[in-house]
Amino acid sequence: MSRQHSFKTFNPLKNTFNPHQFYSDTPLELENKIQLSVVAERVLSETCYEEISFFLLEIKSELIIRKNKISSAYLEETGLSKSRFEQEFARTIFQLDVFAKYISSPEWKKLGHQNEQIGSRFITKKKLPIGPIMVMGASNFPLAYSTIGGDSVAALAARCPVILKAHPYHLKTSLEVFDAILTAISTCNMPKGTFTHVIDQGHDHATTIAKHDSIKGIGFTGSQLGGEAILEHVNSRKYPIPVFAEMGSVNPVFILDIPDLSSTDLAQRITHSVCNDRGQFCTKPGLIFIPNSVEGKNLCALIKNNISTFESGVMLHPNMKEQFELKISTIEKNNKQFIRSDKKEDHHVSNCCLIIHENEYEHQTFLRFEVFGPFVTLVLYDDSNRLENHLADLEGQLTCSFFSDENTIHIPNKPLIQLALKKVGRVIFNDVPTGVTVCKTMQHGGPFPASSDSRFTAVGTDSMNRFIRDVTIQENVN
């Protein structure tokens, strides 16, 4: 690690490495970056929210100026489409806007200055940042959940310095975004360590940061394996720090009855949710329970057909592709009724689906876990009374969706929905789980392994709470 290690990013569309060389930070460079964030911590905790708000908007402006450069890096490094770039860029800008507005709103001001007089005591509760936060860039949202994605914006809005461990597979994109942030830092006269950018092809630097005394919290989005590794490093620290790891989810969908809207429409929505952008979303539905009726079988056939004909494409990076192929081949080996679409190019992945009866499904426990990519299991069920068992057998989930013809689903009366409320972060009626709204009432998280702490959300303005602590100031009124 003492000599600079060089590496390249990968162009999944061209199936080759990109020309530019990147260099992992040396341990000394890393330590210097951490120290910069310690210096910034002192300044930021005394900076007013209005200034932070202005800073977030300045980042937004600088991103817009660099949109073309960011776009070309994004397209070169991710295998995602131009239209997906447009959507994600818009969401990234929107997130900056939402937080900038929120922290300069009267609502936030009120929350941050609650006070009351109890006897002769005048007591005020103020919100303070917890300190430098490591954010680990996620590969599947190279903008909206990476460099200045949800975790970073939430941490900055909370007035915490961010140490961004850039994702090694979209480093050029990350550096373009970082350049926008650096310019905003300079324009707003913020301390340099407000945002630092750490480069490392492997996991060594993330491990060092996770164990570092000066780090006060971690935001992570990725696999369960990755999240658990971070948790293990943090457990070995002298003192605990909060980790919010958003990890795997199979996002079950229960078709309780085939809704009024035609099956064709429903099949299209489900297929899009499974296959769009190669299903590389944490909220991709991976498990759909469908009645074993004429209508249900018809729906299955439609989905199967749609998946087979849905445009194929490339995965985000070679590791992701390898993981997908590995899991898929295990499932295929165990199920002769497995369906793979034709691929357009050798380096594409197939859209896949498995139609299985609930009795068989029950014996294949690996079908209960996330397969990251364009794959879904359709489980035909005879007995709706067994749905509760199927849901109970799943671990904690980000989402659970229900489709039903009933105009109003009476939540308190449905044990299945009650169980879902206990198992997941978001319960959805008559909609697919993909497409997370960035708003005040969004809960993106859920019981383990959906997230490492179900009390917090990774999306929406409440996600700031991960990085904030309260302090009480007590004075005597005479």
**Using CB under 8 A as the criterion, which residues of the chain lie in contact with a copy of itself when the complex forms?**
45-46, 114-116, 118-119, 121, 123-126, 128, 130, 231, 235, 239-240, 242, 411-412, 418, 421-422, 424-431, 437, 439-443, 445, 447-449, 452-455, 457, 462, 465-466, 468-476
**Residue of 302, 110, 147, 323 whose CA lies nearest to 223:** 323
CB closer to a copy of itself, 26 vs 47: 47
Least spacing, CB of residue 474 vs a copy of itself, in Å: 5
Q: State how far the alpha carbon of 3 is from the alpha carbons of 13, 112, 167, in Å.
A: 32, 46, 20
Cis bond upstream, residue 449 (ω within 30): yes
Q: State how far the alpha carbon of 251 is from the alpha carbons of 4, 95, 213, 285, in Å.
A: 41, 24, 36, 5
Least spacing, CB of residue 111 vs a copy of itself, in Å: 11
User: Strand, helix or coil at 44?
Assistant: helix
**Residue of 4, 8, 24 whose CA lies nearest to 204:** 24
CB closer to a copy of itself, 35 vs 472: 472
Contact 443, 437 (CB under 8 A): no
Least spacing, CB of residue 462 vs a copy of itself, in Å: 7
**Distance, CA of 436 to CA of 387 (rounded, Å):** 25
Least spacing, CB of residue 456 vs a copy of itself, in Å: 8
Least spacing, CB of residue 262 vs a copy of itself, in Å: 15
Secondary structure string (H, E, C) spanning 433-470 = CCCCCCCCCCCCCCCCCCECCCCCCCCCHHHHHHHEEE
Least spacing, CB of residue 160 vs a copy of itself, in Å: 12
| Number of neighbouring beta carbons within 10 Å of residue 196 | 26
CB closer to a copy of itself, 115 vs 330: 115
Least spacing, CB of residue 428 vs a copy of itself, in Å: 5
CB closer to a copy of itself, 116 vs 346: 116
Beta pairing, strands 22-23 & 468-476: unpaired
CB closer to a copy of itself, 1 vs 38: 38
CB closer to a copy of itself, 64 vs 439: 439
Residue 50 zone, left/alpha/beta (φ > 0; ψ -120 to 50; rest)? alpha
Contact 117, 62 (CB under 8 A): no
CB closer to a copy of itself, 79 vs 193: 193
